[in-house]
Structure 1
Amino acid sequence: MPTHLVWFRRDLRLQDNLALAAACRDASARVLALYISTPAQWQAHDMAPRQAAFISAQLNALQTALAEKGIPLLFHEVADFNASIETVKNVCRQHDVSHLFYNYQYEFNERQRDAAVEKTLPSVICEGFDDSVILAPGAVMTGNHEMYKVFTPFKNAWLKRLKEDIPPCVPAPKIRVSGALSTPLTPVSLNYPQQAFDAALFPVEENAVIAQLRQFCAQGADEYALRRDFPAVDGTSRLSASLATGGLSPRQCLHRLLAEQPQALDGGPGSVWLNELIWREFYRHLMTWYPALCKHQPFIRWTKRVAWQENPHYFQAWQKGETGYPIVDAAMRQLNATGWMHNRLRMITASFLVKDLLIDWRLGERYFMS
């Protein structure tokens, strides 16, 4: 009996999970799941305590959902990505794993980690999947086979390519007789600072996230173009957290949007929200072509010469929402209180920090992440 290992990272769901679906295709295989906590790496990447609490809740929900399918979740904790390489190797050896399945992450450190894992497992068949995007990086290129640097040409080419072949969603796996579980589950606990989050803003259960997506696509996506510019109006999807941790896939978003707003691909109702999904794709494609974007380097090179102001007083006022500019202050207080900020307010606060206060965007990026 072959043993298939699914390595979960930023894809904490059963529905439309390409790696999980591939691992479960062979009905005779024993399927195991793996999650590796890397608190030192998260600290270096300024992961927010609220996000850690959200991921912890998602992991426990995922563990239960996998157990109901007969798939045990193995949980390990190591310091960082480098240490996780040895952990994957040990898990594969201990469980006689024949195939390793995982979904690609496009950030530089993550790609280096995955390449190292494959090198250490010469006897294991490793399969990766472009799960966090609708179209794989490299699928949309210029006539010179280069990556687009401007969004609108990328969007037009992306839409043309998508219309040729819309990637389907894959169902959650069926219950596996080969892996039936009989022992009680041990709750997953992350060794990382955590802060309570509002479950109404950030639903944990997969069905609740899908219900939120359905409601927005049916009742909000058609008016998104009009309502998105008014922060006091509840006019956005609020799905960013679930997309960030992989509790929801972009393909699920696309298919539900087209089911409710079939003209979205042709500029009709829902097309403006589709643009937001394409912006998300654009950045992921850029990361694979320009890895310096993951190293705190600017995309536009001349901006390296900007003489940023070192003004801790101004920066702290921006952080606390005490600049004296009401919309900026309200936005920052919303972020501090909830861990979420309206899309338009993200643009306003970031622009204010960089263009009005002349403070290095990297400081603002780090604060947003934390």
Structure 2
Amino acid sequence: MNQLFWLRSDLRVADNTALAAAMNAGPTIALYLITPTQWLAHDDAACKIDFRLRNLRALSARLAALNVPMLIRCVADWQAVPAQILGICHEHHVDGVHINDEYGVNEQRRDDATAEALQRNGKTLHRHLDQLLFAPGSVKTLAGECFKVFSQFRKVCYARLSYSLPHCLPVPAAQAPMCIASDPVPNTVDGFALPDDALQAYWPAGEDAALTRLGAFAQQALADYQLSRDFPAEPGTSQISPYLAAGVVSPRQCLHAALAENQGELDSGNPGAVTWINELLWREFYKHILVSYPRVSMGRAFRTETDALPWRHAPDELIAWQQGRTGFPIIDAAMRQLLSTGWMHNRLRMVTAMFLSKNLLIDWREGERWFMQHLIDGDLAANNGGWQWSASTGTDSVPYFRLFNPLSQSTRFDPDGRFLRHWLPELGHLNGREIHNPAKQNGLFASIDYPPPVVDLPMSRARALTAFRQLGETL
């Protein structure tokens, strides 16, 4: 009997657990489901959908070399998925369906419903661990609970990796040709605008592009990662996150790339490699949280008491933040980077998130949604985890009284204003001191086409601290 490999966030042929298992079990057909209504409901960015389609086209060629036909089907949302999968199984005499697990509440419900429909019809859904190093629920405290503190989670992960390092699977051998034609991958999907050529060029599609970028980072920038990663004008980060989110590269491939440059060391050796491996484990940590505490993928705070915070309804300030017109150059440059490239430097994700949730005291969920609507690397667990960390509503989050000052963050991490000048050309003529805080320049500010600050920083800090303190007093 034939096997069906249902593609989701795993758009590659190398080190693909479900693909390897399916092809080992029998003649395999690949399937990708386009679900526009579901994507819109999940706030998926147009550039993210375009990136997936471009990677699907590259993947189709790789699968063709393995004689694996790729079917493309379109259904509105995930409620229609079980019937669609079952219909394909009947049409192509499929006995087993293979998937790499996904971890949001809606994803789990979709897969459970599909498994039940297949079982009722004498077929089996085979689930595989792929987008994580460890299965959720397998890294526990001594009390058998999910870790809530990252440092403790990381320690156990290091211990397990030191004696049982997951290996990368090779590209499967080609199977015998099947008399099934592959479907063309559409260029666009209704409801999702096509991004401009510059954005597409910045994020080339395909496994070769992903591995080239990973290799270049590992060889050229990994050693200095811990020193350069916080400076947005420097090429100090891997920028591999879109490829991880779409599954064009696996976390195992990333881990092995770092280990290869660090003589196999996990938590010692080169500080840059150790720091980057920690970032991979933060990604792992947030997905484990997503499974153990489903409320975080349902619009709830991890720390449920913080849902009572008096978030402000300030639509004008929210729009100013969204469009990069707050009057704080580091915030505005970061937001314009997001709008233009579909990506934002990680240090600036924290700075902009803290500014919205604390200085403006606007509900972190507004920011979480805006990021998902524009990020090419939008990932529910990572995005939610980062926002709740910054807003002090999440697990192992920053203390509520810690607020990043956007002015000091700007002068510290973009001292000569190179990043600011790139994204804020209207400030390009200002010197290194003036550009970080143009509103402070006497008589100069009025001649600049740049908005005044939307908030007074000392006042906004005091307001945020009062809100959190009062919350504690009422609980």
Interval of TM-score (by shorter of Structure 1 and Structure 2): over 0.9
The answer on 1:352 being equivalent to 2:350 is no
Tell me the CA shift for residue 81 of structure 1. 0.6
Report the equivalent of 2:269: 268
Tell me the CA shift for residue 193 of structure 1. 1.1
The answer on 1:103 being equivalent to 2:100 is yes
Question: Quick one: distance in 2 between partners of 1:353 and 1:129?
Answer: 38
**What RMSD in Å do the two structures reach over aligned CA positions?**
1.4
The answer on 1:83 being equivalent to 2:80 is yes
The answer on 1:162 being equivalent to 2:161 is yes
What TM-score, normalized to structure 1?
Answer: 0.96
Question: Quick one: distance in 2 between partners of 1:243 and 1:329?
Answer: 27
For the 8 Å contact 1:140–1:161, the answer to whether it is kept is no
- Three-state SS of the structure 2 residue aligned to 1:7 is strand
Report the equivalent of 2:282: 279
Question: Quick one: distance in 2 between partners of 1:74 and 1:329?
Answer: 43
The amino acid of 1:92's aligned partner reads: C
Indicate the structure whose relative CO is greater, using CA pairs within 8 Å and at least 6 residues apart.
1
Tell me the CA shift for residue 99 of structure 1. 1.1
Tell me the CA shift for residue 25 of structure 1. 1.4
Question: Quick one: distance in 2 between partners of 1:179 and 1:250?
Answer: 31
Question: Quick one: distance in 2 between partners of 1:51 and 1:85?
Answer: 25
Tell me the CA shift for residue 185 of structure 1. 5.6
1:332 corresponds to which of 322, 332, 335? 335
For the 8 Å contact 1:55–1:245, the answer to whether it is kept is yes
Report the equivalent of 1:322: 325
Q: How many residues align?
A: 366
Report the equivalent of 2:47: 50
Unaligned runs of 5+ in 2: 374-475
1:341 corresponds to which of 336, 339, 344? 344
The amino acid of 1:226's aligned partner reads: L
- Three-state SS of the structure 2 residue aligned to 1:346 is helix
Note closer, same or farther for the CA distance 1:185–1:120 as it changes in structure 2 (3 Å cut).
closer
The answer on 1:239 being equivalent to 2:240 is yes
Report the equivalent of 1:3: 2
Tell me the CA shift for residue 184 of structure 1. 7.5
What TM-score, normalized to structure 2?
Answer: 0.75
Question: Quick one: distance in 2 between partners of 1:200 and 1:276?
Answer: 26
Tell me the CA shift for residue 161 of structure 1. 1.4
Report the equivalent of 1:61: 58
For the 8 Å contact 2:71–2:183, the answer to whether it is kept is no
CA-to-aligned-CA distance 1:280-333 (integer Å, 9 cap, x gap): 000111111111111011111221111000001110110111111111111001
The amino acid of 1:283's aligned partner reads: Y
Question: Quick one: distance in 2 between partners of 1:86 and 1:276?
Answer: 39
For the 8 Å contact 2:72–2:184, the answer to whether it is kept is no
Report the equivalent of 1:186: 184
**Which one has a bigger Cα radius of gyration?**
2
Tell me the CA shift for residue 171 of structure 1. 1.1
For the 8 Å contact 2:3–2:94, the answer to whether it is kept is yes
For the 8 Å contact 1:334–1:341, the answer to whether it is kept is yes
Question: Quick one: distance in 2 between partners of 1:76 and 1:89?
Answer: 13
Question: Quick one: distance in 2 between partners of 1:220 and 1:147?
Answer: 34
- Three-state SS of the structure 2 residue aligned to 1:24 is helix
Question: Quick one: distance in 1 between partners of 2:179 and 2:265?
Answer: 43
Tell me the CA shift for residue 215 of structure 1. 0.9
CA-to-aligned-CA distance 1:82-108 (integer Å, 9 cap, x gap): 111110111111111111100000000
Deviates more, 1:197-206 or 1:109-118: 197-206
Structure 2 counterparts to residues 194-209 of structure 1, below 5 A: 194-196=193-195, 198-209=199-210
Unaligned runs of 5+ in 1: none
